[in-house]
Amino acid sequence: MSDTRSTTLLIIGGGPGGYVAAIRAGQLGVPVTLVEGLHPGGTCLNIGCIPSKALIHAAQEFERAREYAQDSPLGITVQAPAIDIARTVAWKDGIVRRLTGGVQALLKKSGVQLVRGWARVLDGKTVEVDTGEGPVRIQCEHLLLAAGSEPMPLPSMPFGDKVISSTEALSPASIPRRLVVVGAGYIGLELGTVYRKLGAQVTVVEAQDRILPTYDAELTKPVAGALERMGIELCLGRKVMGLNAAGDAVRVQDATGAETALPADQVLLAIGRRPRTQGWGLENLQLDRAGNALRIDDQCRTSMRNVWAIGDIAGEPMLAHRAMAQGEMVAELVAGQRRRFAPAAIPAVCFTDPEIVTAGLAPSQAQQAGLDCTSAIFPFAANGRAMTLESTDGFVRVVARRDNHLIVGWQAVGRGVSELAAAFGQSLEMSARLEDVAGTIHAHPTLGEAVQEAALRALGQALHI
């Protein structure tokens, strides 16, 4: 006989959206149960954002050490550096354990009931969880779906053996001599860069004719230049046909139909992610869909009363911070507060080298939206802090309405620009104008000065260019 429990809010999925919703609901006194099959933190903490950034940092440090073994203008010399990849992975795993342990402590502090196991939805009020020690049936008033997403497969090249996803790529037992990355989006380029810095020969295959096709071309030029200098080979406008008969090369086809083979000891398939909607009874709810994702309104309500959806399962943008904000909102709605999800902008960061950060509208997007806008760029080549960091490629760009100078978008590309995301998002959320940013004293010397200088340039008042 199964164990039956009841709760007010039942959350399926302990990723950033799910655990934040649980913590906030607990803070508000809502009885809440969170079901998670693996470890709290979801893809982001366990096999995504955090471990990938850890490996990016390790690879950057190793590359720097190798540069110092040559002729460094800083006057630093080292003997031939080496890397113990097993120790690197152990360090990365230690960070993950500390963070997931912290999440569990926060859940406990907020009075959240954590049930370890795999959920199956029976109806909009009932879920059965396979805990490995017998089924647990949980009944609820509100059901929050936060099951996240999963790597997208390629019919001609299924996962297995030499073909890995980002999950396996984040815990390498060794570094392959030749790695072929399928997909030049942010996941493929972030991890491809890591493997190249760790010593692999890397080839990136992309069906479209440029890298990072969701970003505008001006932002991606410095990244493309850096990839070329690193020795990463780009095969753009190519269709992947699968592995060859021997399984040691990737067959690709160009626009003319000509086929070539790219030697590969390992293949990283990184063509994107899709909402995790299969295999746990979601079809029993017959919820409205938006493509593969669940359709939600501006309160994250699905088409069934008291059934909510947040994060990747609700489609793009698939960003952890979006899921967190949605989870917080849903918890407050369940607690009786009045909220809606209407952010002015959601920043997005691509942790390539150099990094890219965007918030709001790019110039072309503003034009498509019918806005008469002006834009201005301030290059890091004119920024003192960028010079001291030996990274002057890239720029900050601001987009603002021509009539009232209301800022509608920010973009930047350069080393360390991810840390500008907060300033970008805040200025958009507070409806800042060019004069607001231009008139704010920015600390010197910092990369943030480029933000002020871009606003000044848009006003025709540039000081350092």
Catalytic residue among 39, 57, 442, 444: 444
Domain regions of the chain by residue span: 4-54+86-151+274-335, 163-271, 347-459
The answer on whether 319 is annotated among ligand-binding residues is yes
Can you give the pTM of this predicted structure? 0.94
The answer on whether 370 is annotated among ligand-binding residues is no
| Mean pLDDT, range 222-227, rounded to an integer | 96
- Band (pLDDT 50/70/90 cuts) for residue 2 is low
Residue among 359, 450, 365, 357 at smallest CA distance from 412: 357
The answer on whether 94 is annotated among ligand-binding residues is no
The answer on whether 188 is annotated among ligand-binding residues is yes
- Band (pLDDT 50/70/90 cuts) for residue 80 is confident
The answer on whether 187 is annotated among ligand-binding residues is yes
Q: Does the structure show a pLDDT above 90 at 129? A: yes
Fold identical between 163-271 and 347-459?
Answer: no
Q: What is the pLDDT of residue 394?
A: 96
Sign of the torsion formed by the C-alpha atoms of 48, 102, 133 and 36: negative
Q: Does the structure show a pLDDT above 80 at 54? A: yes
Residue among 244, 249, 203 at smallest CA distance from 227: 203
Q: Provide the CATH number for the domain formed by 163-271 in this structure.
A: 3.50.50.60
Q: What is the pLDDT of residue 208?
A: 95
Active site annotation includes 57 = no
> Which tens digits make up the pLDDT trace of 244-293?
999 999 999 999 999 999 999 999 999 999 999 999 999 999 999 999 99
CATH 3.50.50.60 describes domain 4-54+86-151+274-335: yes
Q: What is the pLDDT of residue 76?
A: 87
Strands 3-12 and 32-36, sheet pairing: parallel
Q: Does the structure show a pLDDT above 90 at 369? A: yes
Q: Does the structure show a pLDDT above 80 at 100? A: yes
Residue among 348, 460, 455 at smallest CA distance from 396: 455
> Which tens digits make up the pLDDT trace of 177-191?
999 999 999 999 999
Of the candidate CATH numbers 3.40.47.10, 3.30.930.10, 3.30.390.30, 1.20.1260.10, the domain formed by 347-459 belongs to: 3.30.390.30
Q: What is the pLDDT of residue 223?
A: 97
Q: What is the pLDDT of residue 38?
A: 87
The answer on whether 206 is annotated among ligand-binding residues is yes
The answer on whether 361 is annotated among ligand-binding residues is no
Q: What is the pLDDT of residue 117?
A: 95
The answer on whether 80 is annotated among ligand-binding residues is no
The secondary structure of the chain, three-state, reads: CCEEEEEEEEEECCCHHHHHHHHHHHHCCCCEEEEECCCCCHHHHHHCHHHHHHHHHHHHHHHHHHHHCCCCCCCCCCCCCCCCHHHHHHHHHHHHHHHHHHHHHHHHHCCCEEEECEEEEEECCEEEEECCCCEEEEEEEEEEECCCEEECCECCECCECCEECHHHHCCCCCCCCEEEEECCCHHHHHHHHHHHHCCCEEEEEECCCCCCCCCCHHHHHHHHHHHHHHCCEEEECCEEEEECCCCCEEEEECCCCCEEEEECCEEEECCCEEECCCCCCHHHHCCCEECCEECCCCCCECCCCCEEECHHHHCCCCCHHHHHHHHHHHHHHHCCCCCCCCCCCCCEEECCCCEEEEEECCHHHHHHCCCCEEEEEEEHHHCHHHHHCCCCCCEEEEEEECCCCEEEEEEEEECCHHHHHHHHHHHHHCCCEHHHHHCCCCCCCCCCHHHHHHHHHHCCCCCCC
Q: What is the pLDDT of residue 68?
A: 86
The answer on whether 320 is annotated among ligand-binding residues is yes
Angle between helices 186-197 and 49-68 (to 10 degrees): 40
Q: Does the structure show a pLDDT above 60 at 1? A: no
The answer on whether 189 is annotated among ligand-binding residues is yes
- Band (pLDDT 50/70/90 cuts) for residue 136 is very high
Greater model confidence, 57 or 2: 57
The answer on whether 226 is annotated among ligand-binding residues is no
Share of the chain above pLDDT 90, in %: 92
